[in-house]
Structure formats: C-alpha cells, structure tokens
C-alpha cells in the first residue's frame, strides 16, 4: 500500500510542477512572438485605417506647405547638384505616405524598424517612379550606421518620433547625417496642452496604447525635445487635426510641423 509521502510526489509533479512548467513555456513563447505579431497587425491595419479615417486628406495641405521648401534646396553632392536632385533620408517610412510630396528626381534612403511595411511601401513606390529609392534599411533611427556624416540634404520624420526608443539619439543622428546646409522636416503628433481633456485622455490610455501601437507614445512634448538639441534654427507650427470619427482622433488631434536647420 502506497504511503501518503509516496503519493505526494507524483501529485506535486502532476498538479504543481507540470502546470508551472507549461505556463513558463507559454509565457516565453508569448514574450518572443507577441511583438512580432503586433508589428504585423499594426502594419496591416495602419495603412488601411490611414485612408479609411481620412488622415491623409487632413494632413495633405500641411504636407504641401512643409515639403514645398524642399524644391528650393540645392544638394551639396556635386553629382546630384548637376541634375537638380537632392538626397532625402526618411526615418519611419511606413507605407510611403510622403512620396507624393518629395521633389522629382529625389534620391531617397529609408529607415523603418517594422519589416512588415516593406511590401506595402514598395507597392506604393511603383506610383512614384520619379522618386529614386536608393535603399530601405529595417532599423530604427537611433543608429544610422550606413549613413556617413554630412551626407544628406534633408531628413524627414512623419508620425515617427512617437515610437522611437531613444529620442535624443535619433535627433543626434539627424544632426550628424545632415550636411551643413541641410534641413530636418518633421510632422508629428504631440501631447495636448495642460488642463485639456485631450491631455488627460492621452495620459490615461498611453500605457496600453504603447503596447497596442508598437511603442507609440502619445504623451511626448516633441517641440520641447527638438528645440534644445543644438540646431541653429528651429521653426515650429502647432495645429489640430480634426480627426474625431473615433476615439483615436482625440488621442492624436494635437500636432506640430516644422523645420530645423543644422
């Protein structure tokens, strides 16, 4: 007859150790693949919701004014200058919403940490053959390893600084790669002013928002981050996106656009 002590060991293994081991394995799998799944989901839905909820139509007049300045730039690269082209580096290219606003014959270098945007972006690029895509690097903007100092005429971020892991490193890299007469063009959503409903809402939803939207932080005061970074001149304009078809619109309604000169 089995004693109580002898019966306890298999009981402990079956009802204690096995469930804990199974839970540990499941959590390890979730930790490993959850971010990848969220990246895939974000890329799939973002490109579609961007159009469905009219974000591009809201941003279009602002982008036209912002990027019109590029047409007046002259490249520091002698070969590009001869053909009237400039080299642009875009951090966070996404699905390529800015192709339509770049000067014809531009040379474009792209960085984006989400590899799932690649196919969508290349499909969109087919509609803009006058924009020469030099390379797409699947990486964040914190370390632009294959971009040499003073080598680009313009750097662009558009709804990208919200999700970078190290904002100061990104802005430092922007300054490094820009040539002495280069410009940094930015269009970003930001935290709303103190005392507003939108600001309270942003702070409330931000913890879960960052998970669902792959690092997007809706509480960053980006103007306050850009101005002290060492640019010789910074121009910033605040505007409100009337994008309130769903609650997402309230969270993202406050935005800035502008330029910074090296």
Q: What pLDDT digit, counting tens, does each position of 225-255 carry?
A: 999 999 999 999 999 887 655 556 678 889 9
Question: How high is the pLDDT of residue 11?
Answer: 44
The dihedral built from the CA positions of residue 191, 197, 203 and 204, taken in this order, carries a sign that is negative
Between 53 and 145, the more confident residue is 145
**Prediction pTM value:** 0.84
Say how many residues make up the chain: 262
pLDDT band at 214 (very low <50, low <70, confident <90, very high): confident
Split at pLDDT 50, 70, 90, the class of 210 is: confident
At 27-69, the pLDDT tens digits run: 565 556 566 766 777 666 677 667 666 778 888 999 999 999 9
Rounded distance between C-alpha atoms, residue 204 and residue 81, angstroms: 49
* Model pLDDT, residue 223: 96
User: What percent of the chain is predicted at pLDDT more than 70?
Assistant: 79
- Cα–Cα distance, 153 to 241 (Å, whole number): 29
Q: Quick one: pLDDT at residue 8?
A: 44
Q: What is the DSSP letter of 252?
A: T
Q: Tell me what the mean pLDDT of segment 69-81 comes to.
A: 93
CA distances from 108 to 49, 87, 105, 157, 246 (A): 25, 6, 9, 13, 34
- Structural domains of the chain, with CATH: 44-261 (3.40.50.150)
Quote the pLDDT of residue 81: 94
Whether 189 and 162 have beta carbons less than 8 Å apart is answered as yes
How far is Cα 50 from Cα 237, in angstroms, rounded to an integer? Answer: 22
């Amino acid at each position: 007859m089995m004693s109580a002590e002898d019966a306890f060991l298999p009981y402990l293994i079956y009802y204690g150790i096995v469930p804990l081991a199974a839970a540990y394995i499941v959590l390890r799998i979730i930790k490993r693949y959850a971010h990848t799944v969220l990246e895939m989901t974000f890329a799939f839905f973002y490109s579609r919701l961007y159009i469905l909820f009219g974000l591009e139509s809201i941003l279009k007049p602002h982008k036209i004014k912002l990027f019109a300045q590029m047409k007046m730039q002259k490249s520091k690269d002698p070969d590009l200058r001869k053909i009237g082209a400039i080299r642009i580096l875009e951090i966070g290219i996404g699905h390529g919403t800015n192709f339509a606003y770049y000067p014809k014959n531009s040379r474009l270098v792209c960085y984006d940490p989400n590899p799932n945007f690649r196919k969508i972006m290349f499909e969109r690029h087919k509609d803009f053959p006058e924009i020469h895509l030099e390379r797409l690097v699947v990486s964040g903007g914190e370390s632009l390893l294959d971009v040499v100092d003073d080598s680009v005429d313009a750097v662009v971020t558009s709804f990208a600084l919200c999700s970078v892991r190290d904002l100061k490193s990104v802005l430092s890299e922007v300054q490094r790669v820009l040539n002495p007469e280069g410009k940094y063009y930015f269009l970003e959503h930001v935290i709303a002013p103190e005392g507003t409903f939108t600001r309270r809402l942003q702070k409330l939803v931000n913890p879960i928002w960052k998970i669902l939207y792959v690092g997007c932080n809706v509480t960053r005061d980006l103007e306050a981050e850009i101005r002290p970074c060492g640019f010789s001149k910074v121009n910033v304009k605040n505007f409100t996106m009337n994008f309130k078809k769903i609650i997402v619109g309230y969270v993202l309604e406050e935005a800035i656009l502008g330029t910074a000169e090296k």
